[in-house]
Structure 1
Amino acid sequence: MASSTEGTRRGRGTARSATADEAEEANAGPDALDLSGLNAVVGYALRRAQLAVFEDFIARFATLDLTPAQYSVLLVIGNNPGRKQAEIAAALGIQRPNFVNMLDELERRGLAERLPSATDRRSHALVLTKSGSALLARARAMQDEQERELAQKLGPGGREMLVALLQRLM
């Protein structure tokens, strides 16, 4: 769920909700906009689906003060302790300056730390702190619940099929 253009955490949920509400209003009733030229476009459908999933994610994770990108970073660090920050940034498609800023914030919050690399003095190995591991466990449970709800919306086998199809585009 990482994004190289991840914005600030505060205030986005409200803006996105207003945008989603406005879009629904514009596409309902006798004065509905004609979106027939877009509704069958893969990129448009992907973007609208991403916005819906991210809006739900942001609302769910507000209590943890985590963005989708921060969650992705914590998850990858947790699954790959000791890896270089450049490796994790590249794997998630996050630009290095954005990744450094995000990591600074995660360190400030006591969730992750940079340790000297055992193999390269010019780089840092990333690990989660105890607080980071505990927060990640809570976040994973919330993510699991979101995935269950998405699977229910998509019907039997739909979630797996959707993920498989999307991976073919990556």
Structure 2
Amino acid sequence: MEAAIGFRLRRAQLSTFQDFNESFSVKGLRPTDFAVLLLLTRNQGSKQSDVAEALGIQRANFVAIVDGLEAKGFVERRKSETDRRVQSLFMTSAGEAYLAELMPIWQDHEARLVALLGGPGQRDALIALLDKLYD
């Protein structure tokens, strides 16, 4: 198992998510919720299906995620002006304020991971290697 890539990736994922969950436990935030909010900051008005695809989440599962963020007042769905069948997603001002509170926590989490890897150069090398697995 020591040389099994999938096993090592899964262990790394579990460790990373554990640190994330501990960091954000006071906010009651899941990694997927954070990813949606972060993605929407640069992609306001994206189709719901495009956001789900960008994050690798099945559409059926994504609906529940958006429902939760919408119930908290962080995200709102709007009908597309060009295709009324399409739902576009927008961050609310409450969502933007909430994300602003989260960013320092996320930056600390990322800094811990980068330190464990041995610095930004090692992080960049790891990202390049991981990109080879799915690009």
* TM-score of Structure 1 vs Structure 2, range by shorter chain: over 0.9
Mapping 1:121-136, distance limit 5 Å: 121-136=84-99
Aligned counterparts of 2:32 and 2:15: Cα–Cα separation in 1: 16
Q: How does 1:30-49 map to 2 (within 5 A)?
A: 38-49=1-12
8 Å contact 1:116–1:125 — kept in the other structure?
A: yes
Deviation at 1:138, TM superposition (A): 2.1
Do structure 1's residue 105 and structure 2's residue 68 form an aligned pair? yes
**3-state SS of the aligned residue for 2:132?**
helix
User: Is 1:160 aligned to 2:124, yes or no?
Assistant: yes
Question: 1:135, 1:148 → 2: CA distance?
Answer: 21
Question: 1:21 matched to which residue of 2?
Answer: none
Rg larger for: 1
- Gaps in structure 2 of 5+ consecutive residues: none
Other-structure match for 1:71? 34
**1:143 is aligned with what amino acid?**
W
Q: Identity rate of aligned residues, in percent?
A: 44
The reply on whether 1:94 has 2:92 as its aligned counterpart is: no
Conserved 8 A contact 1:84-1:126: yes
Code of the residue aligned with 2:77 in structure 1: it is R
* Amino acid across the alignment from 2:131: Q
Per-residue deviation at 1:140? 2.3
CA offset digits 1:30-70 (Å, max 9, x no partner): xxxxxxxx111111110000000001101111112210111
For 1:80, the aligned partner's letter is N
Please tell me whether the aligned partners of residues 64 and 135 of structure 1 are also in contact (alpha carbons under 8 angstroms). Answer: no
Cα-Cα RMSD: 1.0
Cα distance in 1, alignment partners of residues 49 and 116 from structure 2: 37
TM-score by length of 1: 0.75
Code of the aligned partner of 1:65: G
Moved over 3 A (4+): none
Return the match for 2:44 from 78, 81, 90. 81
1:147 is displaced (CA, Å) by 1.2
- Tell me the SS of whatever aligns to 1:61: helix
User: What do the CA deviations read for 1:103-162 (whole angstroms, capped 9, x no partner)?
Assistant: 011000111000121211001111111111111122222111111111111113111111
Please tell me the residue identity of whatever aligns with 1:93. G
Number of equivalenced pairs: 133
Distance 2:112 2:64 in 1: 32
Give the SS at the match of 2:88.
Answer: strand
Q: Secondary structure at the match of 2:85?
A: coil
SS of aligned partner of 1:125: strand
Distance in 2, matches of 1:108 and 1:39, equals: 44
